[in-house]
A and B are shown apart, each in its own frame.
Chain A
Amino acid sequence: MAMAIRVFLLLLFLSYSNLAFSLYEDQVGLMDWHQQYIGKVKHAVFHTQKAGRKRVVVSTEENVVASLDLRRGEIFWRHVLGTNDAIDEIDIALGKYVITLSSEGSSLRAWNLPDGQMVWESFLPGSNPSKSLLSVPTNLKVDKDSLILIYSNGCLHAVSSIDGEILWRKDLATEGIEVQQLIHPLGSDVIYAVGFVGLSQFDVYQFNAKNGELLKYNSAVFPTGFSREISLVSTDTLVALDASRSILVSISFRDGDIGFHQTHVSDLVQDSSVMAVILPFKLTGMFALKTNSIMVFIKVTDEGKLEVLDKIDHVKTVSDALPFSEGQQAFALVQQGGSKIHLTVKLGHDWSSDLLKESIEMDSQRGLAHKVFINNYIRTDRSHGFRALIVMEDHSLLLIQQGEIVWNREDGLASVLDVTTSELPVEKDGVSVAKVEHNLFEWLKGHMLKLKGTLMLASPDDVAAIQRIRLKSSEKSKMTRDHNGFRKLLIVLTKAGKVFALHTGDGRVVWSLLLHSLRKSEACEYPTGLYVYQWQVPHHHAMDENPSVLVVGRCGLSPNSPGVLSIVDTYTGKELNSLGPVHSIVQVIPLPFTDSTEQRLHLLIDADWHAHLYPRTPEAIGIFQHEFANIYCYSVKADKGIIKGHVLGKNCFLEVADEYCFETKDLWSIVFPESEKIIATVTRKLNEVVHTQAKVIADQEVMYKYISKNLLFVATVTPKAIGAIGFVTPEESWLVVYLIDTVTGRILYRMTHHGSQGPVHAVFSENWVVYHYFNLRAHRYELSVIEIYDQSRADNKDVWKLILGNHNLTSPISSYSRPEVITKSQSYFFTHSVKAIAVTSTAKGITSQQLLIGTIGDQVLALDKRFLDPRRSINPTQAEREEGIIPLTDSLPIIPQSYVTHGLRVEGLRGIVTIPAKLESTTLVFTYGVDLFFTRLAPSRTYDSLTEDFSYALLLITIVALIVAIFVTWVLSERKELQDKWR
């Protein structure tokens, strides 16, 4: 059999002598899709002064600065800054530069507004971490140059907006002041820096804007101290809360004299028991105070007196003040009630009238409004219109204009936490005949067009039509399961606690669900989503059930905080069940058992190392008890350098008896020496399928792979080498890798890479591990491979015994039998630094594998596993060559055509997920980061199916032509024979 397959494959190989895995230009978008996102918007700056350029510049929590089209919400340009380069502030200077302050105020960049090219970049030095403030005063000119004022890292900088040069710099850290606000009164050359020293001292510094000269310094002490937030009500007055948050202090610092004026919050608001918060809200003569139920708008009179203007319920968010026509200011507030969202735009100086009041129907899955930004435009009748950009709880961004949602962006998808897949429903019978006929006609038409294309008879219009048919194939976006298993649902959990189901065909959102358990509530202050697991995958005997996924989250940031669980139906997108807050969750172990309804058993480990069994049914307990003795777990304590193995014990001893809770006992532990710090661990994927345990090598020899799901790859480095590359010499840095059996704690393999350091990215599949690290001596990145073989099976060589089945190769194996193993390893240089590594996985595990490497350039490179084969040598023998061993080279080749992402970039790439399709040759690849990218790969080409652009019409015509030719020649030969006989 194997022979036949081999012959077949070889013949196939010959027929495809041109082995290029790339695709043609017109194949882009046929089986891949790419979606661009920006993340949750933090700041937005509108830019609509000039007609025709309706854009908004936004900065987001995913460190993206982008310019969006206000008409459609499309991205004009976008820059993704590094993960540790968070954007603090953005603004527009000179009307043509977007200024971003990032990396805790240490880097300042200017981007060209129309096209997003970087104009200049400045590094702002400073040593004391502090608040970062960016101020772009409108009329502050020094020699025709506009100044940008930045307070960051304890220093005040004035930067030229033309070239980013630092004009002057004042170190305020030595004075101990924490600057809260930079104020530039209109038309003057003076800059005020106001802030607090310690808890109770209020300081005002006056600087000359032109040269940074200190003009005046004043300070005053307020005995009860301040809480840190302040609101500026005019250029010389601000309002602060005292330390107990019960007294509002209005501070005036006109001409250097600082005066305090106190007002009790309880005088303004009746229920004074609640904590009041001043909102950062820049409106002249007014500020907003928020208690947990109502928002109070307070007017500050010239004498520093406070007057309550209004108290409004259900206010979710307020926009900044927007100056428009002759010194008027407007601001927007958003209220939410039921399924509606109410947007009110008010004038700053005239409280009684509303400029705009709109109610918009809002999808309940978007949650609450988190932020609002407003912008005005002039209508055709010369009145002012307003548009509002609203950021919702699920991180989506909406533009509201004239009471309608003009566009929305699902930017929650920029922060994907975890991905799993689900099958689509099976196609139901009873397709109408008319539809089939229509389809048949369309089908024929399509194929005739394709035929024209193949025979090069197609006109440009036809070519366009062919391309359109190929891209818009309704086949790929159907909501039913297909024969090849290409159509699936990607279930994606995002940081906002929203679960999305994306269709693999075209990437559209099929349903989305904002999980209640992952929303901020009194019981759950800081909910975070963690992972999503396949909970129920019905296939054999529970076909009528819908598949479902388990979403695991946590209330709070520490590992001890209680966990939340919810089960979501993947067909309907409804939450079936939700648990929590329950015990803490530090580990989720999907077990290889399912109950009668195909629900997978899961063990959830809490912080005290109690194991909790889910689903909580007697049946699950029954199955679990049956396999109880063979279930182990292990914990990796990276900070302490210990790996411990545990075995399950009796039921937990708790106040309330819980038969689903089990204690764990320590079984073994590996304590790493002081000189080693664990930086990476990796295991095999639970659902990986391996076709065979034998590897046939040259000369028909067999090596038996050591295939165990209980293997753990651990990488450690010296404590000094934990940091970034370049801070440690090769002599003091080494990388040690281990292969550990997690049942017995046996170390199967250990190897030291001297002069190497992390970060380590690794992938474990079948019997091999590939890991990526930095070689300090060679100043290059390296990829290493370890393959592990079972030596105890190697003597199974007697053919007769094998023919008669008289061998022990299929009998179950135990880790306690301590099989003898041998390992082979090899290292290669690799050009790229890596963000993620994954490996292709196929349905049966027959197809050869490819490594998918997420490179630093946010692309995905497919690299054949054949290049990472420890049996490579410089001069392979003839037999080895036949086997497909590539001669050894010191570095791995990077073939430009083998980029899976072809011309696209998956900005901020964080993870690569591979999902097997039903067709053995094909695997589905989903890559996520700020962008999403999905494609289909065939590592050994699609040897088991015809390609998509195969011309059936051509085949049909050929067959018909051949049959006609046979008949014609038959008739002719008959006639000739008859004539011959008469002669």
Chain B
Amino acid sequence: MEKGKGVMVGRRWAVDFTDNSTTPSSRDIPDPPGFTRASHDQDDSTLSRQKKGAEANWKVQKAWEVAQAPFKNLLMMGFMMWMAGSTVHLFSIGITFSALWQPISALQGVGKVFEPYKDSKVDLLGPKLLFIALNLGGLALGVWKLNTLGLLPTHASDWVSSLSPAQEVEYSGGGIPLH
């Protein structure tokens, strides 16, 4: 995900070499001599269709790959969390917070991650949903970890631990007579 984003940002300009136009009149520059668009056209169109199909396929494939990428992360995170143990210390807190932060930042950038694979022919809904689901899974894992560390107010103790003692109605004093 990170890499994809980097490429997107690094691109300043682009030349599109694919030519989809069929009518020469639409073009400002006449065709070179000896070039017959019509004769070539059939071949070319099948070829380009094939090419396009392959590209779309490739994009879909890539999109799914990208969508599945958080899964590896998830496993990695799980392993790290297991290693960190359930006591609160610097390491476990760091891991837990990174486990929470990564899915959140990924979810924020979900559109950008799939931008390279954006295509009218390509249906990105599936990969996107998978990506979101996996990241949500990661988030859930982080929250669960947070809870196992005892850092979520899910217990009664978290709500009453600073409750001041109840007032007493009666007051009584006395004791052994002063000597």
Taking Cβ atoms with an 8 Å cutoff, the residues of A that contact B are 1-3, 6-7, 10-11, 14, 530-531, 552, 554, 559, 585-592, 603, 605, 627, 630-636, 638, 645-646, 681, 683, 690-694, 696, 700-702, 704-705, 707-710, 712, 742-743, 796-799, 802-803, 809-816, 882
Contacts and interface: CB of A to CB of B under 8 A. Distances in A.
Contact of A812 (B90, B163, B164, B168): B168
Interface in B80-105: 87-90, 93
Contact of B156 (A7, A683, A802, A810): A802
A710 B172 contact: yes
A7 B146 CA distance: 12
Contact of A810 (B152, B163, B169, B173): B163
Contact of B167 (A530, A704, A812): A812
Interface in B136-179: 150-179
A487 to B, nearest CB: 28
B173 A10 contact: no
A802 B159 contact: yes
Contacts of A586: 177-178
B152 to A, nearest CB: 8
B176 A632 contact: no
Nearest to B152: A3
Given A630-B171, A743-B170, A799 B177 contact: no
A630 B169 contact: yes
Interface of B: 87-90, 93, 150-179
A707 B157 CA distance: 17
Contacts of B179: 559
Given A627-B171, A632-B170, A803-B159, 8 more contacts: A10-B88, A530-B178, A630-B169, A632-B171, A702-B155, A702-B156, A796-B156, A810-B163
B167 A693 contact: no
A633 B155 CA distance: 40
B154 to A, nearest CB: 6
Contacts, number: 162
A634 B170 CA distance: 13
B175 A636 contact: yes
B171 A631 contact: yes
Contacts of B169: 630, 812-815
A700 to B, nearest CB: 4
Contacts of B168: 708-710, 812-815
Contacts of A710: 168, 170-172
Nearest to B154: A799
A941 B170 CA distance: 36
Contacts of B152: 3
Contact of A742 (B160, B172, B177, B178): B172
Nearest to A588: B178
Given A559-B178, A636-B176, A799 B171 contact: no
A696 B157 contact: yes
A559 B177 contact: yes
A799 to B, nearest CB: 6
B155 A700 contact: yes
A693 B153 CA distance: 18
A587 B175 contact: yes
A692 B162 contact: yes
B174 A2 contact: no
Given A693-B165, A799-B154, A799-B155, A605 B174 contact: yes
Contacts of A707: 165-166
Contact of B157 (A635, A690, A701): A701
Contacts of B153: 2-3, 799
Given A633-B174, A797-B156, A692 B167 contact: no
Contacts of A559: 177-179
A900 B68 CA distance: 64
Contact of B165 (A7, A692, A814, A882): A692
Nearest to A646: B174
A50 B45 CA distance: 132
- Interface centre among B93, B152, B176, by most A CB within 10 Å? B176
Nearest to A667: B172
A696 B165 contact: no
- Interface centre among B88, B164, B171, B176, by most A CB within 10 Å? B171
Nearest to B160: A694
Contacts of A809: 160, 163, 166
